Copies of this chain bind each other. A is one copy, B any other.
Amino acid sequence: MRIILIIAILGCHLITAQTKDEKQLRAIYDMALTNGKAYDWLNHLSNQIGGRLSGSIQAQQAVEYTKNQLDSLGLDRVWLQPVMVPKWVRGTPEFAYIETRPGLTTNVPICALGGSVATPDGGLKGKILEVRGIEDLAALGKDMIKGKIVFFNRPMDPKLISTFDAYSGCVDQRYSGAAEAGKYGAAGIIVRSMNLRLDDLPHTGSMSYGDTPVQNRIPAAAISTNGAELLSTTLKLNPDIKFYFKQNCKQFDDVESYNVIGEIKGSTYPNEIMVVGGHLDSWDLGDGSHDDGAGVVQSMDVLRLIKASGYQPQRTLRVVLFMNEENGLRGGNKYAEVAKNKNENHVFALESDAGGFTPRGFSFDCSDADFEQVKSWKPLFEPYLIHQFVKGGSGADIGPLKDDNLVLSGLRPDSQRYFDHHHAENDTFEHVNKRELELGAATMASLVYLVDKYGFGIPKKVKG
């Protein structure tokens, strides 16, 4: 009898609590879908400012604009966190062609990889050697590679449902291809664009020479997927064709830039910090709407939505707009360094850096106990078609915060179209759907609300 009574009381309590949470989520989604700010902010970032490569005027304009917008939200504190960032400049548009025989050439679309050195002033022409990946280089050896342009042409695997998994399976070619091929005396490298679609757009992205001495660094460019197919087919017909490309990109000295940070002070646990963020820098070819303008404006809107819903966070809630995710991660590293020096207690960090597409769920980098707690919130997200709660990586910028007491999370939007736009000139505003963007912001704000309300570590304490 007593047991029944307890169950009845518990049951009532759960029903009440559930209903309150349901209402809060509904209020957040309603506001995001009827009165969201994310889309207008993105319009400005994309169409009034544009591509925001670290160290550029546009990146600085984005710092000023987002700081002003955060200032207007009536947060408890908004500030800039200085950080030195690399400054790499693309220069004039790149140019490339396949030369089937002297005088017979076909132009193909390329772009320099971010961080690459320039070709010689007159461009670089050479025989071309197609490989499927870095692991092919050792088998081919110096004799085969020396003086040639190595063409990395392993495509993304279309069978993988998450296109990010397909990206992970290829991106080593882009990131390390030049450093590795350089060891065998290659004159330059061309990489198939990280894109599942066949089209004419080259996709840039970061690369590293590792510890290659400056004088041994070779130029690296991406070729569009159609260009890669053409080059591969042409090579099969005639292995003696030549490839020409020219780029005059340049690395300058580091310059000062900023992470942009806004904060709502926690009412009960002000020293427990929750972070939401995205990265303010982007590549220079498009306007960086999906990568990561979307994550920036969604993160900003999380604080606005929480405030506007009338909810006062118990914990301190920060939005951090990280600088230089794309080619250095200096902003993410700086934020974690300062947090450590100040002995700040971060309990939760959520990043949106996978595009402004329909949200599908979250990935979590956390303990099993915390993951169980997160999963208990799944039913609250069902009405919004948020189904995916999985363990996995979170986001590059919040990664440096990682320790055992922190739950890291990444928003997981639908990934099918992401790499059609990623780092290419068509990562532009018109490819972001307003509702999809707003649903992402509401989904993030809902998770933040639940984390703030229930905290983490409860199962651990119960067990301990």
Contact = CB atoms under 8 A, between A and B. Distances in A.
Contact of A29 (B159, B416, B433): B159
Nearest to A419: B435
Among A29, A383, A385, A388, max chain B CB count under 10 A is at A385
Nearest to A387: B387
Interface string A396-416: 000000000000000000101
Integer count of this chain's copies in the complex: 2
A434 interface: yes
Interface string A264-307: 00000000000000000000000000000000000000000000
A159 B414 contact: no
Interface string A353-397: 000001010000000000000000000000111011000000000
Contacts of A434: 197
A215 interface: no
Contacts of A417: 433, 435-436
Nearest to A26: B159
A313 B74 CA distance: 64
Given A197-B434, A358-B414, A436-B416, A385 B161 contact: yes
A33 interface: yes
A420 interface: yes
Interface string A429-451: 00001111001000000000000
A209 B414 CA distance: 42
A30 interface: yes
A158 to B, nearest CB: 5
Given A385-B360, A414-B414, A34 B158 contact: yes
A410 to B, nearest CB: 16
Nearest to A439: B416
Among A196, A388, A435, max chain B CB count under 10 A is at A435
Contact of A416 (B30, B158, B196, B433): B433
A33 B159 contact: yes
Contacts of A159: 29-30, 33-34
A385 B360 CA distance: 9
A388 B33 CA distance: 22
Interface in A150-202: 158-159, 161, 163, 196-197
A253 to B, nearest CB: 42
A159 B196 CA distance: 33
Contacts of A33: 158-159
A383 to B, nearest CB: 7
4 nearest CB pairs, A to B = A387-B387, A33-B158, A416-B435, A416-B436
